[in-house]
Structure 1
Amino acid sequence: MKLLVKAPAKINLSLDVLRRREDGYHEVEMVMTTIDLADHIELSERSSREIEIVSQNRFVPDDKRNLAYQAAQLLRERFQIKRGVSIAINKMIPVAAGLAGGSSDAAATLRGLNELWKLGLSLDQLAQLGAEIGSDVSFCVYGGTALAKGRGEKITRLPPPPNCWVILAKPSIGVSTAEIYRQLNLNQVVHPDIPSMIEAIRRQDFQQICRVAGNVLESVTLSGYPQVKQIKDQMKRFGADLVLMSGSGPTVFGLVRYDSRLQRIYNGLRGFCDQVYAVRLIGEREQYLN
């Protein structure tokens, strides 16, 4: 039996870091939303007990480092599953980009194997399992738009932002999330106004969303990777309504309300950045799961 599952990317409309926790993680508050750029996961039962990762992308690990592998292994161990599975990952989301591609693959694997292995788990139960794999996996299990707190595993559902285009541009570099957090000095950052972002989303106020968006990790990444700053400056110059780095980077996204600006921004960025995408925001959680 085979099953196809969609694994969309996310962007951070707001990302705040409050403190370093005793367990070594950071306490965060993030407003995240999924976008219509997605990996596609094909799950196939195996006669052997092996977990197999198949991908044509050489940057995708095919062993226990892969979060989708960890998701399958966690379900097998927790529910005494005796069967193996082949996980084919058609990678469309850039790797190490700040878009939660690996986390979304893991979340899609949890949802898909829940169906394939007839485990009968709820999304809440799957999200709790996802928190054991990675900080963004819980959000990716649900999809849609949400406030994430704690390490990222405490999820409060939000309505979708106003519909618009999302331009993504990723330079040909990778960024270590752990290293960015290590360099973050919480005494020198400007914290984004998370309550105002939530209120702007509830009121469907696109201009206010653009005004109050922020990412405390951005200053660290911009100082260490001038390519990211260059993309951000160019995207602003071409006329995006909001320009912000997603996650720890290096991907920069721009929100664009009007179709008339879209092509100009897209073409301008393609002049000096190979990985440029124009996609839509994904709306309600139910839409994301279909």
Structure 2
Amino acid sequence: MQRIVKAPAKINLTLDVLNKRNDGYHEVEMVMTTVDLADRIHLTVKDKNAITIDVDKGFVPSNEQNLAYKAANLLKKRFNVKKGVHIFIEKNIPVSAGLAGGSTDAAATLRGLNDLWNLGLSLDELADLGAEIGSDVPFCVHGGTAIARGRGEKLEHIATPPPCWIVLVKPPMGVSTKDIYGKLKLEDLQHPNTEKMVQAIEEKNFKGICSELGNAMEDATFSIHPQVLHLKNRMKGFGADGVLMSGSGPTVYALVQNQSRADRINNGLKGFVDQVFVVRLLGTRHE
């Protein structure tokens, strides 16, 4: 028995950091949506009672440190599953990029094994399990567009933004989210307006969405990696309607309404960065 499960990347339309919690995490409020850049998770049930994993990119762990492995192991132990599974990850989402690549792989593994192992769990139940693996996993279990609060695990699903093109650009470095949080000065943060972003989404107001893009972590990332700010400014100069860093970076994305402008930004970045993706916004939830 085999399933191939699509694992789409996410971007932040807003990301706000509110305060530091007693558990050491930061309280966040962010609007996230999915885009049509996806890994593919190949799940093959094995009679042998073991989990094995392979990845087609060498810089992704192919052992128990992989979040997809952790997802399978959590289901197996929690529900006393006696069968095993081989996980093969066809990796298309850049790593350490602010796009939830590992989290979406874990979420796709949870959805796929729920089906293959006949566990009968709802997406809400899978999301609760996913919160034990990582803060972005619950959102990735559901997909779509949502406000995420708490550590990112408390979700409020909202309308789908209007269709548009997205140019995703991953500079040639990884970013440690922990390091970026360590650089944050909460009293100096530029806070995006979540309420206005949600209103623009509900009204299908593309210009409003572009004007309300905001990420409170940008300045901290820019201070460590100034080339990310240079990239953002370059993309604005090529005519993007809106530009923002996703997550803790370093990926920067541009929103545009027509493909010709997306292609112009893509062409303008050739020779400047290697990893450029022109994709559509998804924004619809998994079933």
TM-score interval, smaller chain: over 0.9
Aligned to 2:255: 255
- Residues 147-193 of structure 1 deviation map (CA, whole Å, 9 limit, x = unaligned): 00011111111111111000011111000011101111111111100
| 2:264 aligned with 1:264 | yes
Q: Tell me the distance in 1 between the aligned counterparts of 2:131 and 2:180.
A: 21
Aligned positions of 1:1-290 closer than 5 A? 1-286=1-286, 289=287
Give unpaired runs (5+ residues) of structure 2: none
- Structure 2 residue identity aligned to 1:62: S
- SS across alignment from 2:186: coil
Q: Tell me the distance in 1 between the aligned counterparts of 2:260 and 2:68.
A: 39
Give the Å deviation of 1:119: 0.1
Give the Å deviation of 1:48: 1.8
Give the Å deviation of 1:284: 2.2
- Structure 1 residue identity aligned to 2:10: K
Superposition RMSD in Å: 0.9
Instruction: Calculate the TM-score normalised by the size of structure 2.
Output: 0.98
Give the Å deviation of 1:283: 3.4
- Residues 68-103 of structure 1 deviation map (CA, whole Å, 9 limit, x = unaligned): 011001001110011111110000000110000000
Give the Å deviation of 1:217: 0.6
- SS across alignment from 2:37: strand
- SS across alignment from 2:188: coil
- Residues 180-222 of structure 1 deviation map (CA, whole Å, 9 limit, x = unaligned): 0111111111110001001110111111111111001111111
- SS across alignment from 1:187: helix
- SS across alignment from 2:8: strand
Structure 1 segments, 4+ long, off by >2 Å, are: none
- SS across alignment from 1:247: coil
- Structure 2 residue identity aligned to 1:26: H
Instruction: Calculate the TM-score normalised by the size of structure 1.
Output: 0.97
Q: Tell me the distance in 2 between the aligned counterparts of 1:67 and 1:147.
A: 23
- Structure 2 residue identity aligned to 1:246: S
Q: Tell me the distance in 2 between the aligned counterparts of 1:178 and 1:64.
A: 21
- SS across alignment from 2:61: coil
- SS across alignment from 1:159: coil
Give the Å deviation of 1:125: 0.3
